[in-house]
Amino acid sequence: MPPPAHDPDSLFDDEPVPPAPAATASAVAPAWLDEGLFTLGRQLPPSVFLGTSSWSFPGWQDIVYSRQHTEAQLARNGLAAYAQHPLLRAVGIDRSFYQPLAVADYVRYASQVPEEFRFLVKAPALVSDAVVRQERGSPAGANPHFLDPVAAADLFVGPALEGLGARAGPLVFQLPPLTRELTQGDAAIATIEKIGTLLAGLPARAHGLAPIYAVELRNPELLTPRFVRMLRSHGARLCIGIHARMPPAARLSAALHAMDATEDEGDDWRMKGPLVVRWSLASGYRYEEAKNRYAPFDRLIDPDIPTRGTLAHLIHVALKSGQPSFVIVNNKAEGSAPLSVIELARAVVG
């Protein structure tokens, strides 16, 4: 088994270690919020799960937390306070990308949040990255477990569903940027077929749950009709991955429309499964550039009204279709993930 991989284009900071037992969770208290946010939370339909890619940011004082804590304190004890925010109904677990997590890790996460809360979990690089990487992210050789359904089921799907139970949201296979040898011509077809083999080999049910599988790309050249047909044939979802490497949200929305719509529906289409979104990195920036520009993540610096509008539209389509929506926002999208969530919720309700 290769060592844990590092994604040089990772969208998120390392996910915090599992929270400490509940006895110490009271060390972090939720922020005192305007009553209008609680009203907005009541107006937001219960099937709309908005959240951020982590919870351990000291800059979120008075936005999510009542006072400033260190990153380590929030990593250990902040999740319970985070989950009390009226609009933060979900969170991303990105730590699982770097190393598969044990059932006990997921259990500790789930124990910190209400029953209606959901986790979007990112698959380990052990199965989603085509190469094994050295400590600083440079390739060290081909990954023999790339898109291996057995490894994915044993090291990711099984533990996540067993530990999170009903709080499990989408299980996302985000493929790091692939080389031209895997994305051009016949090689692209083979890569898409290999993704299909992965999805076909994953359990349709596990631990009494029907998992939501989603695939997110970092290579726009793979976002083809063949790719969306493959997802549809396996009952998986296209994860709308909003990232500087990918086309704008509106084009990704069109791909989802093409995947789900039938000829008789036209523009009045219905989603055939949940909406899964990761709004990760503002257009025109690399990860470190956005991090330096937006830290400490306490205000919106580059509001992206078009993307918000596209996401609000997609959420409305999901609501009309009777499907849940899972939208995870990163600080590097507009400057402050929880403030982006608030504005997106206003766009949906408004």
Summarised one tens digit per residue, pLDDT across range 131-181 is 988 776 777 788 999 999 999 999 999 999 999 999 999 999 999 999 999
The answer to whether residue 13 scores a pLDDT higher than 90 is no
Interatomic CA distance for residues 185 and 290, integer angstroms: 33
Residue 183 banded pLDDT, cuts 50, 70, 90: very high
Longest CA–CA separation in the chain, Å:
56
Would you call 167 helix, strand, or coil by DSSP?
Answer: helix
pLDDT digits (tens, 9 = 90+) for 89-98: 999 999 999 9
Residue 264 banded pLDDT, cuts 50, 70, 90: low
Residue 265's pLDDT is what?
66
Residue 3's pLDDT is what?
42
Q: What is the pTM of this model?
A: 0.91
- CA-based nearest residue to 173, from 102, 96, 250, 90: 96
Residue 34 contacts by C-beta under 8 Å, 6 or more apart in sequence? none
Interatomic CA distance for residues 108 and 88, integer angstroms: 19
11 backbone dihedrals φ, ψ, rounded to 5°: -85, -20
User: Could you tell me which residues are beta bridge partners of residue 50?
Assistant: 327
Are residues 50 and 88 in contact, defined by beta-carbon separation less than 8 angstroms? yes
Interatomic CA distance for residues 217 and 237, integer angstroms: 12
The answer to whether residue 2 scores a pLDDT higher than 80 is no
The total of other beta-carbon atoms located within 10 Å of residue 288's CB is 9
Residue 287 banded pLDDT, cuts 50, 70, 90: very high
Distance of CA 81 to the CA centre of its chain: 20
Residue 15's pLDDT is what?
45
pLDDT digits (tens, 9 = 90+) for 16-49: 544 433 334 448 999 999 999 999 999 999 999 9
CA angle 22, 24, 26 (to 5 degrees): 90
CATH placement of domain 22-349:
3.20.20.410
The total of other beta-carbon atoms located within 10 Å of residue 37's CB is 16
Q: Report, as an integer, the average pLDDT of 310-315.
A: 98
Residue 313's pLDDT is what?
97
The domains of the chain are located at: 22-349
Residue 98 contacts by C-beta under 8 Å, 6 or more apart in sequence? 4, 5, 6, 7, 14, 15, 124, 125
By the 10 Å C-beta count (0-12 exposed, 13-18 middle, 19+ buried), 36 is classed as: exposed
Are residues 139 and 132 in contact, defined by beta-carbon separation less than 8 angstroms? yes
